Amino acid sequence: MGANLFWIWIVLLAVGIMLIAFGGKRADGTHTSSVEWGYLAVLGGAFGLLSDYMSFTAVMLLVVLVTGAIWLFDKRVLAPRRQPGVVVPHYIDFPRGFFPVIAVVFLLRAFVAEPFQIPSSSMRPGLVVGDFILVSKFGYGLRVPVLNKVFIPVGNVERGDVVVFAYPENEKVSFIKRAIGLPGDVVEYRNKELTINGKPVPRLSVGEHSYLEQGLMMIQNQRYTETMGTRKYDTLNIPEQPVYAPDRVRQFPLRENCDYRGDGFSCKVPAGHYFMMGDNRDNSEDSRYWGFVEDRLLVGKAFLIWMNLGDFSRIGKAIH
């Protein structure tokens, strides 16, 4: 967490506590809206601070458990003893009011769909910076929140799927890439040509493509349409650049499954793992550099662009 964000969360937490402490009451004994805003500020500050130590899903689950415990305690113990007309204390009233909303949001995010924002150009041309996408949480099986273990098998990752997963080098960070290799596959990438189990992935040149990177530099690429099974998608590469940068390859787990040479590399995907690559082949940090993605790190399959504040025409586009 950056120092600036840390102090923002601290200030938000402090302001919330002050609003709760000094918000006061109305003439009828009920609490003012300042107290409610105080609890919202405390909730936001706590979310921000805790997110530095655990995943967003874990933070949400913790909040659900705390507010749910207060709701249940009030319903079973306090409410039956409460005299008519007695004002419910704010430390009971507001948390129990938050519980149903937070619980519904948590269940939707955990088992139906989760929103993400595209932070980089690694999946161009299909996905661009600023795209807000939806990720199906049940396509690869219903998973226990936080532990991410499948408890109801539903489907499996297919070659060519666009997948969101926890970054192996920092599991609090989410990455999005295309699943190129499944368990047992041999993935080769040499001279800008992708081969799976000895069979070249068909590709067709569709001309040049350029984009502005971070508003600073125009990047010129060659654009191709690749076909993987029944799925077609576009990729970018810069012909004169090498297929990987040797100085960026880390000593990742099971690196012995990969053979790096001057003109390219080959990797055999271990059981329970996947090989991921960005569609923007020469501008993507992916499995070439940090290794394989374990099944336990999968978040879900990206399927829809639901918002892009800079380009409304992208709203509603399916992700291929």
Long-range interactions of 242-245: CB distance < 8 A, separation 24+: 243/189, 243/190, 243/191, 243/192, 243/281, 243/288, 244/189, 244/288, 244/289, 245/289
The alpha-carbon radius of gyration of the chain (Å, integer) is: 24
- How sure is the predictor about 1, in pLDDT bands with cuts at 50, 70 and 90? very low
Give the best-scoring range by mean pLDDT among 24-28, 53-57, 263-267: 263-267
Tell me if 71 sits within 8 A of 113, measured CB to CB: no
Instruction: Please name the residues in contact with 320: beta carbons below 8 A apart, sequence gap of 6 or more.
Output: 126, 162, 231, 232, 233
Domains annotated on the chain, with CATH: 3-113 (no CATH), 114-314 (2.10.109.10)
Which strands make up the sheet holding 170-181, listed edge to edge? Answer: 113-117, 132-136, 298-307, 162-167, 170-181, 273-277, 293-294
Q: Looking at this protein, which amino acid is placed at residue 150?
A: V
Q: Which of 55, 121, 137, 177 is catalytic?
A: 177
Catalytic residue among 55, 120, 121, 122: 122
**Model confidence over 108-158: pLDDT tens digits?**
999 999 999 999 999 999 999 999 999 999 999 999 999 999 999 999 999
122 catalytic per annotation: yes
- CB atoms under 10 Å from CB of 190, counted, come to 14
Q: Is 199 a catalytic residue?
A: no
Q: What is the pLDDT of residues 89-105, one digit of tens each?
A: 999 999 999 999 999 99
End-to-end CA distance of the chain: 33
d(CA 164, CA 143): 14
| pTM for the model | 0.90
Among 130, 135, 129, 140, which residue's Cα sits nearest to residue 115? Answer: 135
In this structure, are residues 264 and 244 in contact, taking their beta carbons and an 8 Å threshold?
yes
